Amino acid sequence: MVQESWNHEVFLKSCPRHHTRLPGFKRRVNELPTIYVDGQSIGNEQRVQPRAAKIAFVYQTSDSGPPTRDSKVYFKDIGNKTNNEAEYHALLAALSFISRNLAGKGPDVRNVRTCSDSKLLVNQVNGDWKIETERLKQLREKAAIVVAQLGLRRLVWVPRDQNYAGLWLEGKWEARGEPITWSYY
């Protein structure tokens, strides 16, 4: 496990809102973007070939609460990928969005809160877990390069019921969607 210096302010900013409701704690409302990423692969469990993978990410302009129906969802069918590969592709698409649309335009992108319900993705990208699969190593390297270029802090794990990209992919949360038409890393 990677040892990091403790930064209480960064920790509190990265926590879901319900974790910061402690007596005497005053959370200032941040007007910083939050992005939820998710990938899914139909047929992954049965190891059926070919699989049908999709990715989505939700862009929210501030972290002041859960996304509304006005939040923007970006999505794409990505073909024959495993679920873990789809998770990485969703992150890469979101990082591309941050680079294209947020870097140098307004809030400091280092503070963009990027959330996923995939412990594997979060812990591998944050450098806490080893990667065994060559394809995932390559995707992690691409993600690490972009994260470093943008100066982003860490990816944040959220429970499944708080990952709006995953809920959107499952049809459990509605918001307007827009296809990802640009190429990403």
Tell whether 15 is covered by a domain: no
Q: What is the pLDDT of residue 76?
A: 96
Tell whether 24 is covered by a domain: no
Token pair for residue 37?
């990423």
CATH code for the domain of 125: 3.30.420.10
Tell whether 149 is covered by a domain: yes
Give the up-direction half-sphere exposure of residue 86: CA atoms within 13 A in the CB hemisphere. Answer: 28
Tell whether 52 is covered by a domain: yes
DSSP 172: S
Query: Tell me: the pLDDT tens digits for 23-64?
Result: 333 334 456 789 999 999 988 777 667 889 999 999 988 776
Q: What is the pLDDT of residue 98?
A: 93
Residues of the chain with pLDDT under 70: 1-31, 47-48, 64, 69-70, 106-107, 185
Instruction: Fill in the amino acid letter for 6.
Output: W
Tell whether 20 is covered by a domain: no
pTM of the entire predicted model: 0.79
Tell whether 25 is covered by a domain: no
Burial zone of 72 (CB within 10 Å; 0-12 exposed, 13-18 middle, 19+ buried) = middle
Domain count of the chain?
1
**Residue 176 and residue 151: Cα distance in Å, rounded?**
29
Identify the bridge partners of residue 75 per DSSP, sorted by sequence position.
56, 179
Q: What is the pLDDT of residue 43?
A: 84
Q: What is the pLDDT of residue 7?
A: 37
Domain that holds residue 79: 30-179
